[in-house]
Chain A
Amino acid sequence: MQPSPAALVAALALPFLGAVAAPAVHRLLGERTAYFAAAVAAVTFALLAGQYGAALAADPTASGISYQWIPALGVSLTLYLDGLSLLVGFLASGVGVLIFTYSGGYMHGEPGQAKYYATLLAFMGSMLGVALAADLVALFVFWELTSVTSFVLIGHYQRTDSGRYAARKSMLITVSGGLFMLVGFLVLAFVAGQAPELARTLTLVGTPDSLIANAEAVRSALEARGLFLPVIALVFVGAATKSAQVPFHIWLPNAMEAPTPVSAFLHSATMVKAGVYLVGRTRPLLLPEVAVPEWMLLVATLGLVSMAITAILAVGATDIKELLAYSTASHLGLIIAGYGLATEYGAETGAFHILNHAVFKATLFMVAGIIAHEAGTRYIPDLGGLRSELPITAGITAVAALGMAGVPPFNGFYSKELLFEATYEIAAHEGGLFWLYPAIAVFGSVFTFLYSIRFLMLFFGEKPDGLHAHRPPWPMLAPPLLLTGVAAYVGLGGLAGTFGYKVPVVGEFVAAVTNASALHALETFGYYVPTTLSPYFAMSLLTIALGALAYPFYDRIHAGVRRARAVSVTSPNWYYDAAISGANRLSPIVAETVHNGVFRRYAYTALAAVCALALGGYAATGATVPGFDGFAVSLPLAVVLLTAVLGAVAVVRAPSHIAGVLTLSILGFMIAIFFVLSDAPDLALTQLLIETLVLVLFLLVLDKLPSWYGDLKRREAVADAALSATVGVTVFVTVLLSTGATPPDPIWEGLAERAPVPSEHGVWILDAGGGNNIVNVILVDFRAFDTLGEISVVAMAAISVLVMVGMRARSEDVGTTEEPGPDAAESTPEGGETA
């Protein structure tokens, strides 16, 4: 069933329009812009919610809505709404409403609010774009837009060093990951397009000839070329950088520099879910139905490892937001591991945990914001016993943190139980090393339990002296309260399931989300608190028991993790910092080497690079110089060419600039005569005039130069001669190759046919040039766009001359004339005398 195109387009466009309007609204409403943005998000949410029925009945072969974008390249703007994209859309808009409301309280008195709300709205639109776009190029564009907006939001406090460091780090890692993903997409689309039974398409899902609708054929096409695993790896790198998976997780803790609402929104509920979404979306395409697919070995393994490592790192955190950041990476690892496992429970794990994690983690982030705002610190050892002063917040935290810990009957328990079930099933089926899957899952979950309880204990125990918290304002309290309500509802649904009841919405919605990534459609999805001891329930109980046993030693584990973290060789941060500082040292060296102000160096680098590229290109393409079959030169031509050569030799021998320029023009005029002899009047005219003009220009400039040449060192003379010879050889070879490589049906025939007035024509001639001078007809009619570019260059050259001279005049006014360099006299026309 197709969703309403108008609703989807409106839902996608509205946040962007809101972003454009935000600065003006901020001027009118001031800090109440938060509620304007919340209203935009609410309308978007309502528009998406209206398509709930259509999304649940989505058909991956037909439900897409296509608009043309770049038809020449096969790029479209295809929108597709199914359970998974609706869930991500709900997270973006629904959590968006809460975050904007929360910002109304949190951002009180903060600087840069117009920028903040505009960027946050633009981010929300980009995230909806990621969820709705079914075209690979459109998906990539929205994907990178989320990275860019995230960059701006992380760097909200742009004057702080840590803010800049964090923003740059997230940008470098997520954007470069996105480029890997783009390469993966292009390989996917183009290799699949070469298969005989497939049309080349960039559409991922939603149309009859989309990639997912023909998943089987696409996979065999990729496998035939040996590119199946590379595509999985490339796409997974994109997902792993975005979703902060090991070893790319390092940007997420730094991203906590952003204001807390941004962390709650981008770095827990939405943007980091983009990677997870991509994994879930491409799962039916890249996961073949074999016992041990490559997909599982790569995605599930890395997901589980990430989950365990980042859970351990979370225990080592001393800042509540840092703890939550590592915990987010860990739960994303859980979701990715779920999608990676090749069983139906795997898809259910991913789908259900996206929902659960977004609900409890956004809540906990908002709680962290409340603590930071009202208690004035985020340092864990300084916090404790906040229950007495923040009772409602404590209640909220209990529901959310126990969900995060995976304690029954709270919401996170059910999805973690599904992961245990999936890993156990794989292990029981495959045996051997696959038993590591459930082992790592339990191991990582123990640490999850530990840090969740630690977070909860901020509200219990003894209160440190001097810690006082104020009651938060309602705009900051209502949103987490509402999300906790959702979490509790999902949790109660499980309890109800135990007694055979079904709460509305959750089951059918999660089933629809699962179906977007599952290989076989799921009719319904049920979950409940188990009443019998199954192996996976035993795994859950084991996790809780181990966690409870280890909790008294939390401080020791915490210290151990911090010691391990300080080892530089195993820390991805150390490699990142080393690479960045290395690049920072390298760039000035390169700049000073290439751009040192000496004319000779510029000429050398530019000319030598052109020669190397051209000759290298010929060598790489295996171009062969056509055979030599004797001279066919008439006597006048020979005389002209000989004179030209003599002129060239005379240039080198000339004792002064003036003599050199005059002899150089001998060469130029001989070429003009050569054109005359070769029946090319247009070229001859142009050459003649240009030669004249250049001569005049040269003489004007030379008037200001010293009339003698500087003393030339022997070494420089030899180098100059070598470079000149190389340039000469390059040009010679280029001319030979380009004239020798005339294609069998040259385009000049078509041009010559269409240029003159056709024999039969009406009063208006539209399809022919109507002129006898083919050269000019080409210039002003057939290739007028090229000519427009060329005259723009002429205009630009004139403007640059004006600007350069104008700027020098300004610097002279200030009295900061540049010191002429050691080579200034020989290198720049203005050297010494005029300055």
Chain B
Amino acid sequence: MTAERETTVIARTVTRVVVPIILVVALALLFRGHNLPGGGFIAGVLTCTAFALVYIIYGSESLRTLVGASAGGDGVLAGLPGAYARLFAVGLAIAAGGGVAAMVLGYPFLSQTVLYLSDVPAVGAVTKLPGIGTLELASAFVFDAGVYLVVVGGLLTIISVVGSE
């Protein structure tokens, strides 16, 4: 949006309060995705809406300060798009790298496994405490995190490039 158009105090105040909540909810969606509605894709899109909100209300300059991207750089990759592009590149590498790790261990590409912590003796004792429940570690989370990063990086790249036009 053009810089001259002033945003209202209400919008700015609400954004300040809402954006952290959105980000926390997004992370919650990401982490609980294996057992409850959520997952890397949804969490990624939700994160993007938070960034879009900051962008619309406060403008791209403050978003750059928030993200910590440098102002310099070459051509289209200067500033924010460069940071976002690195994000989806890293995400893609994590997702594919996890798959290759399975191959190194002798399983087909992208095989996933689950470590059932409740059955591990040392940790198992903790899960017996009230309010904890079963614990498991899914290797699929690595892949899901990759999906999250790609979605966040990819969508934000598009938004920032289109928005800066």
Contacts and interface: CB of A to CB of B under 8 A. Distances in A.
Contacts of B56: 696
A4 interface: no
Interface stretch (A542-550, A707-715, A762-770, A814-822): A762-770
B42 interface: yes
Interface in B20-37: 29, 33-37
A703 B165 CA distance: 10
Interface stretch (A273-281, A355-363, A410-418, A802-810): A802-810
Interface stretch (A385-393, A596-604, A783-791): A783-791
Given A757-B116, A764-B116, A765-B116, A770 B42 contact: no
A772 interface: yes
Contact of A773 (B38, B45, B77, B85): B38
B113 A693 contact: no
Given A776-B39, A784-B110, A700 B151 contact: no
A624 interface: no
B147 A780 contact: yes
Contacts of B162: 697, 700-701, 801
B49 A693 contact: yes
Interface stretch (B10-18, B64-72, B136-144): B136-144
B132 interface: no
A562 B116 CA distance: 86
B99 interface: yes
Contacts of A795: 88-89, 91-92, 150, 153-154
Contact of A685 (B38, B134, B140): B38
B143 A784 contact: yes
B83 interface: no
Contact of B110 (A685, A776, A785, A830): A785
A794 interface: yes
Interface in A722-769: 757, 761-766, 768-769
A802 B77 contact: yes
Contacts of A791: 91-92, 95, 146-147, 150-151, 154
B40 A780 contact: yes
Interface in A672-689: 681-682, 685-686, 689
B127 interface: no
A771 interface: yes
Contacts of B49: 689, 692-693, 696
Given A771-B35, A788-B96, A697 B114 contact: no
B143 A802 contact: no
A29 interface: no
Contact of B76 (A693, A700, A806): A806
A426 to B, nearest CB: 59
B159 interface: yes
Contacts of B138: 770-771, 781
Contacts of A685: 29, 37-38, 42
Interface string B37-51: 111111001101100
A765 B76 CA distance: 45
B161 interface: yes
A809 B112 CA distance: 44
Contact of B136 (A682, A696, A700, A757): A757
A697 B42 contact: no
A764 B154 contact: no
Nearest to B5: A703
A373 to B, nearest CB: 54
A757 B138 CA distance: 11
B95 A788 contact: yes
Interface in B86-128: 88-89, 91-92, 95-96, 99, 109-116, 119-120
A116 to B, nearest CB: 40
A779 interface: yes
Given A689-B49, A701-B162, A805-B165, A798 B85 contact: yes
Contacts of A701: 162, 165
Contacts of A830: 165
A703 B141 CA distance: 39
Contact of B113 (A686, A689, A764, A787): A764
A797 interface: yes
A779 B41 contact: yes
Residue from B36, B76, B92, B151 whose CB has the most chain A CB atoms within 10 Å? B76
Given A689-B42, A772-B36, A777 B165 contact: no
Given A696-B159, A773-B39, A704 B165 contact: yes
A686 B153 contact: no
Contacts of B48: 693
A773 B143 contact: no
Given A685-B42, A765-B113, A809 B76 contact: yes
Given A764-B113, A780-B40, A780-B144, A806 B75 contact: yes
A78 to B, nearest CB: 27
Interface hub of B52, B115, B140, B161 (most chain A Cβ within 10 A): B140
A690 interface: yes
A787 B91 CA distance: 13
B39 A780 contact: yes
B34 A773 contact: yes
A599 B46 CA distance: 31
A764 B114 CA distance: 6
Contacts of A776: 33-34, 38-39, 144
B163 A763 contact: no
Question: Of residues A765, A771, A779, A797, which shows the largest number of chain B Cβ atoms within 10 Å of its Cβ?
Answer: A771
B33 A798 contact: no
A798 B114 contact: no
A568 interface: no
A469 interface: no
A691 to B, nearest CB: 10
A777 B140 contact: yes
B3 interface: no
Contact of A703 (B2, B120, B151): B2
B112 A780 contact: yes
B142 to A, nearest CB: 9
A834 interface: yes
Given A794-B151, A795-B88, A785 B109 contact: yes
Contact of A779 (B39, B45, B113): B39
Contacts of B140: 769, 771, 777, 780-781, 784
Contacts of B88: 794-795, 798
A697 B150 contact: no
Given A693-B155, A757-B116, A763-B119, A801 B161 contact: yes
Most chain B CB within 10 A, of A700, A777, A794, is at A794
Contact of B158 (A762, A769, A788, A801): A801
A773 B33 contact: yes
Given A771-B138, A781-B140, A784-B140, A693 B52 contact: yes
A792 interface: yes
Contacts of B113: 764-766
A440 interface: no
Given A764-B114, A780-B40, A690 B92 contact: no
A57 interface: no
With a 10 A CB-CB cut-off, give which of A689, A768, A773, A779 has the most chain B CB atoms: A689
| A-B interface, 8 closest residue pairs, ranked by CB to CB distance from nearest | A770-B114, A771-B34, A806-B76, A794-B154, A798-B157, A798-B154, A681-B37, A765-B114
Given A773-B34, A788-B96, 5 more contacts: A761-B116, A776-B34, A777-B34, A781-B112, A791-B151
5 contacts: A696-B52, A763-B119, A779-B39, A798-B155, A802-B161
